[in-house]
Amino acid sequence: MVKVQINKSTIGGILRCPSSKSYTHRAIAIGSLAEGRSVITNVLLSRDTLATLAACKLLGAVIKHENITLHIEGKHSYDAPRNILNAENSGTTIRILTAMAALVKKGFTIITGDDSLRKRPMQPILDALTQLGVHCYSSRLNGMAPLIVKGGGIKGGTAIVNGGISSQFVSSLLISSIHADSAVTIRINGEQVSKPYIEATIATMKAFGVTINYKPKISEYYVENKEYRSTVFDIPADFSAAALILSAGVLTGDEVTLNGLNFGLPQGDSHIIDIIREMGGKIKVEKEKGKVTVYGCSALEGGEFNLADTPDLLPVVSILALKASSPVRIYGVAHARLKETDRVSNITSQLVKLGATVRQRNDEIVISSPEVLKNSSLEAFNDHRLFMAFTIASMLTEKSTVTGAESVDVSYPSFIQDMTKLNASIRLIPDRE
């Protein structure tokens, strides 16, 4: 595991936000299902998205890339892949692939991932596809990867999906069900978490020529048999990454400006703007210019924040709480325990090292900041979002370390370089140290 040392820092400057991981996944998958040639511009090439790209190639899409532009020759009926599909660490990849694998004409597709991914729940997508006439299984019969999907197509009908674990199950069904033999109805059982990610899926599908009928009052999606249209799709900037940089600016900044943001496509993590305002932070938003500027402040206000729709903001709001003058309660985050790691427990254990008082329950965490943050040796548990959040928090201490720098390849490979451009004092610690 790669460790970094962080010294107290005051950052400032202008940065272009990296492209969206969520939209890159969706555009690659949908482009691979669209007959003809699609061009995807400003893609994010990270460990997660490269896993989606490699898997779609194995399914039969022809994908060529020139820097950050992809040219995709897609099709909606595949031959059985010649190798196992490896989703690496990406929950989005494995869940989208599972439904896509059902479109294989005949034969079996095996899908797996790394040790962390093989511990994440997959039974809801298996159950939903089974209801739609697909034969699919967990090879260990425990509802987790490796998965085996028998080809032959999606028959159609009604699938009932548990909404309380992840939105990725619904996104997976939406993306592939347009090629079912008959219409598909997706009905949500319980409250759906992370709804903005489903909205991102629907927006991407619309860009490729497919509109989804949705009844929000009864949480039901109706998918007709249609064809994707090849297109040119520009990946927007990633508000998940932007949230981290904006939090760094508020906590340790002089003045930090992010360029290249797109407010035209739905991204739930843009809610960070409202949260910063609610906590008393100073922020300037220029939507027409795609620009957001934040200003450092000596103290923030506490409050209560429901992150059921935006679980990736949990690490961000947790570190903002370290400057809050009263407790910060974050709730609706039980599903954050089922991400790359149990983020609720892991955030609790590390913020305590910094001197914070933290209480956690199944779906909430309450953080009270200390008068002075302690120098600490923090562990990111090989979780990219925790590593980035803990690195930013460490900039408030005199000198701390965080282990797990290699994890940023999952979503934001240039994170350390970008933070250094903003004058953050971060250096890799050689193994001999």
Between the alpha carbon of residue 343 and those of residues 250, 276, 395, 408, the distances in Å are: 22, 21, 21, 16
How far apart, in whole angstroms, are the C-alpha atoms of residue 6 and residue 426? Answer: 5
Catalytically annotated residues: 312
SS (H, E, C) the chain: CCEEEEECCCEEEEEECCECHHHHHHHHHHHHHCEEEEEEECCCCCHHHHHHHHHHHHHCCEEEEECCEEEEEECCCECCCCCCEECCCCHHHHHHHHHHHCCECCCEEEEECCCCHHHCCCHHHHHHHHHCCCCEEECCCCCCCCEEEECCCCCCEEEEEECCCCCHHHHHHHHHHCCCCCCEEEEEECCCCCHHHHHHHHHHHHHCCCCCEEEHHHCEEEECCCCCECCEEECCECHHHHHHHHHHHHHHEEEEEEECCCCCCCCHHHHHHHHHHHCCCEEEEEHHHCEEEEECCCCECCEEEECCCCHHHHHHHHHHHHHECCCEEEECCHHHHHCCCCHHHHHHHHHHHCCCEEEEECCEEEEECCCCCCCCEEECCCCHHHHHHHHHHHCCCCEEEEECHHHHHHCCCCHHHHHHHCCCEEEEECCCC
